[in-house]
Each structure stands twice: as C-alpha cells, then as structure tokens.
Amino acid sequence: MAEAVLHPPRRTHTLTYNLEIAIGLFLAYCRSKNLSPKTVGYYAARLLAFSRFSVNRLTSIQEIDAAAIREFLTHEKETNSAATANHSLCTLRVFLGFLHAEGFLEENPAASVTRLKVKKRVIETFSPEQIEAVLRTCGRDFYGVRDRAVILTLLDCGLRASELCSLELADVDWQEQSFRVEGKGAKERIVPFGQGVRRALASYLAIRTENLPTRSLFVTQYGEPLTRYRLRDLVKRRCNRAGIEGVRPSPHTLRHTCAVSYLRSGGDTFTLQLLLGHTSQDMTRRYCESLSAADVQRKHRDFSPVDNMKGIAPRSGRKRLR
C-alpha cells in the first residue's frame, strides 16, 4: 500500500473558474426572471467582491460555508460598512439558494448566517429655511429653471434619484397631475405632484428644446438625459452656493425631507409608504421617529380621538357642577 501523503495538496485557484461559471448562471437566471438591470448589476457587484475575497481562501464552491461567509462579511464591514455587509449577505443568500436549488450545493450555507447589527443614524432633513436658500440660488437661465423644477419635484414627490432620472415626457399626466414612476424591482406606481411643482415643470418645459433625440423629462443643456451622478452634483452645487452646512447635500436628503414634511403636515404612514414605493412600513416608522415632541403634540391637538367624537368633545363656556 502506498504511503500516505502527510502534507496537504497544493491549493489551486479552481474556485475562481467555478464561481465565475456559477455567477454567470445565476445572473442569467435573474435576467430570465425579468429582474431590473439595477438589481442584476448590484448582485453582480457584490458577488464579484465575494469572488475576489475568496480566490485565495477556498479551492471549490463546495467549501463555501457559514464560517467563510462570516469572514467575508467582517471584511466588508471593515472596508465598507455594516450596511454593505448586510447587503452582501442578502445577495449571498439568494445566490447560494439558487445553487442549492440547482443541485450544486447540498444546502444553503448563508441561511444560518445572521445580519450584522447596524447603528441607526438620525435621518437628516433640510429645514424650510435651507430649502428657501437653495431655491434662491436658481436663476432664470436654463440651469436655474431646470434645477428649481428638479429640487421641487424631489421635495414634493420623494422620488429616488434613479426614479427621477428615468422619468420621460410621457410619464407626466397633466390632467391628473401625477407621474408614472418605475421603482425598485420594475414596480410602477403613480405619484401625484402639487401646484408648485406643476408651475416649475411648466416653466422648465417652456425652455426645454422639443426636438431632442431623448424623451427624458430632465436633460442637460445639450439635450442629454440627466444621470444620477449629474443629479447628485446638481444638488450638491446648489447647496454649496446656498451655504448649507450640517446636512448631507444629496437627492436622498430631499427624499427624507419630503417624508418627514409629509407626516408633519398631517399625512398618514400608509399613504406615505405608497408614495415612496416602500415594500414595508420599516422605513416609514423611522420617519415617524424623526418627529419631535412638539410635532406629536400639535398632531394630537388636530386629531385627538376624544375631541373629535360627537357628543364627547368639550363644549365652550362654563357649566355648573351638580
């Protein structure tokens, strides 16, 4: 009988090849399920990070276990953030679940891995004075009129950056005064807008060239579609000109401001969830936590259950006690 080999075999990089094939099959499956290109792209980015991390640590896909996943999540937390690590875990759960269903793995090793604790940050919003200061920087030239329309649309409708940039001229319903928005997961929803946005859009469209090769609603001065990166720079530039400090100058801060202002104005959380395109009430509850004690007191004065009941609400004037 041959003598047993005492030293471990030389590790090869077969995992890279195997994982690349598995990732390719998974992404093809996602496309066949008609997932949005943004979702597929995000899956691809997180799986590429996992592949690069694992290439010198594992020799086969079958070696991917809970310990390896936790090690990767720790790396993600240290190099990016705990939130990014949790996003990566969600991606791995879906990916490894697919491999398990297809017979590549006996089980899904990510199923037993728990999410990392993430510190809840205070939701940042712009104050009314800051919004007014930002709008004062918008002049009457093309950029000023367009930027005013963009900022008011984000503030009034709470759209995500990608949702605003994907709006087309045909998505504006002037009669119903609403947008047809394609949100996450290619889910469409109708988002109304107010009179202020209507006037701002009308002023913007009056100077937007009609015969452009693109049907995008918001464009550059050269007729190119407004991208998320240009939108981010647009908001940042206007905030810098207005001298805004202490708040992150981003389109998402305007989305947060929309949500909190909506609740302060008397809107309910269920309608807000539909307007923002959230699949659950989790984020909407966080917006409620941003309300101050004065907000709660004012809301209770307006919507007091007892005071609004007929026959129970206190009457004005004095009444003798018997």
State the catalytic residues: 160, 184, 252, 255, 278, 287
- Edge to edge, the sheet with strand 172-173 lists 172-173, 178-182, 188-192
Residue 151's nearest CA partner among 208, 200, 190, 184 is 200
Structure tokens at 97: 């679940």
Query: CB 75: neighbour CB atoms within 10 A?
Result: 15
Residue 133's nearest CA partner among 228, 239, 54, 4 is 239
Q: How far apart are CA 203 and CA 225, in angstroms?
A: 18
Contact between 179 and 230 (Cβ < 8 Å) = no
Residues in the chain: 322
